[in-house]
Amino acid sequence: MARIRLRLAGPKDCSALAQMRYRFRAETESVTETKSRFGRRCVPWMRKRFRPQSYRWRCWLLDDGKKLLGHVCVELFEKVPNPVNDEPELHAYITNFYVVPEMRSQGLGERLLNKALLWCRARGTDAVILWATPGSKALYRRCGFVEPIDLFELRNGAVRQH
């Protein structure tokens, strides 16, 4: 079996990453944009952000030397400077977390997530947040995430009922 590498994504990966983003979203929702049109929009967006020198964004991917098997992205966002203790002044948002169906439940998702969390810790982040799909909650709990009691969400102008 080919060795699976976990590595930082760069601009050259963005075409394959955009295709996988399309696959990810099409897996559970009906897409309204063609693949090629989406690619024309998504590839330049990713190229601008997924580069090692980017301050806010990182994307890590898994590949077997021939094709992508999964990815995870993190965006840092700032807090207002704080005069209290040494409270960290950055939060992180985990997004676009995906492993291809045929490779799931072998620990690859956890490897990706831990890589992203390691980077967050190295950057000194405070909260790391994400929106969990129902099936993924066990994995997040294993990696230390908890469901907060004090987080509010306002979406499309209406508070969702959980």
Positions in the binding site for ligand COA (CB under 6 A): 97-99, 104-110, 130-133, 135-136, 138-139
Element spanning 38, H or E: helix 35-49
Nearer to ligand COA by Cβ, of 91 and 104: the residue is: 104
- Output the residue with the shortest Cβ distance to ligand COA: 109
- 3-state secondary structure (DSSP) of residue 27: helix
Nearer to ligand COA by Cβ, of 40 and 127: the residue is: 127
Q: How far is the CB of 98 from ligand COA (least distance, A)?
A: 4
- 3-state secondary structure (DSSP) of residue 137: helix
Nearer to ligand COA by Cβ, of 16 and 130: the residue is: 130
Strands 90-99 and 57-63: unpaired
